[in-house]
Amino acid sequence: MQDKSALDDLAVFGGTPASEEVLHVGRPNIGDRERLLERINDILERKWLTNDGPYVQEFERRVAAFVGVKHCIAMCNATVALEIAIRALEMKGEVIIPSFTFIATAHALQWQEITPVFCDIDPHIHNLDPIKVEEMITPRTTGIIGVHLWGRACDVDSLSDIAARRGLKLLLDSAHAFGCSHKGRMIGGFGHAEVFSFHATKFLNSLEGGAVVTNDDQVARKMRLMKNFGFTYYDRSDYIGTNGKMNEISAAMGVTNLEAMDEFIAVNYRNYQKYGQELAGLEGIDLIAYDEKEKCNYQYVVIEIDESKIGITRDQLMEVLQAENVLVRRYFYPGCHRMEPYRSSFPHAGLMLPETEKLTTRVLCLPTGTSVSEDQISDICQIIRFAVEHEVEITRRLNEGRVPTNPPTSISARQRD
Render pLDDT for 369-389 as a digit per residue (tens, 0 to 9): 999 999 999 999 999 999 999
Determine the pLDDT at residue 4: 81
Rg from Cα positions in the chain:
23
Ordered structural domains, the chain, with CATH: 7-29+261-328+367-400 (3.90.1150.10), 33-259 (3.40.640.10)
CA atoms of 145 and 78, how far apart (whole Å): 14
CA distance to 253, 336, 349, per residue, from 345 (Å): 40, 12, 9
Determine the pLDDT at residue 5: 83
CA atoms of 245 and 240, how far apart (whole Å): 15
Determine the pLDDT at residue 400: 87
| Three-state DSSP state, 25 | coil
Burial class (CB in 10 A: 0-12, 13-18, 19+), 74: buried
CA atoms of 15 and 2, how far apart (whole Å): 9
CA atoms of 233 and 38, how far apart (whole Å): 31
Is residue 415 within a helix (H) or strand (E), and if so which, with residue range? helix 413-416
Determine the pLDDT at residue 401: 67
**φ and ψ at residue 231, rounded to 5 degrees:** -70, 130
CA atoms of 258 and 196, how far apart (whole Å): 14
CA atoms of 327 and 272, how far apart (whole Å): 17
CA–CA–CA angle 280, 286, 291 (5° rounding): 90
Query: What digits encode the pLDDT tens for the residues 205-262?
Result: 999 999 999 999 999 999 999 999 999 988 899 889 999 999 999 999 999 999 999 9
| Nearest in space to 169 (alpha carbons), one of 218, 96, 226 | 96
Q: What is the largest CA-CA distance in the chain?
A: 74
DSSP 269-330: HHHHHHHHHHHTT-TTEEEPP--TTS------EEEEE-HHHHSS-HHHHHHHHHHTTEE-B-
| Three-state DSSP state, 21 | coil
Question: What's the average pLDDT block by block, 10 residues per block, for the chain (417 residues)?
Answer: 84 95 95 98 98 98 98 98 98 98 98 98 97 98 98 98 98 98 98 98 97 98 96 89 97 98 98 98 97 97 97 97 97 97 96 98 98 97 96 94 47 31
CA atoms of 31 and 299, how far apart (whole Å): 16
Determine the pLDDT at residue 40: 98
CA atoms of 317 and 366, how far apart (whole Å): 12
Which residues, listed in sequence order, are joined to residue 303 by a DSSP beta bridge? 287, 364
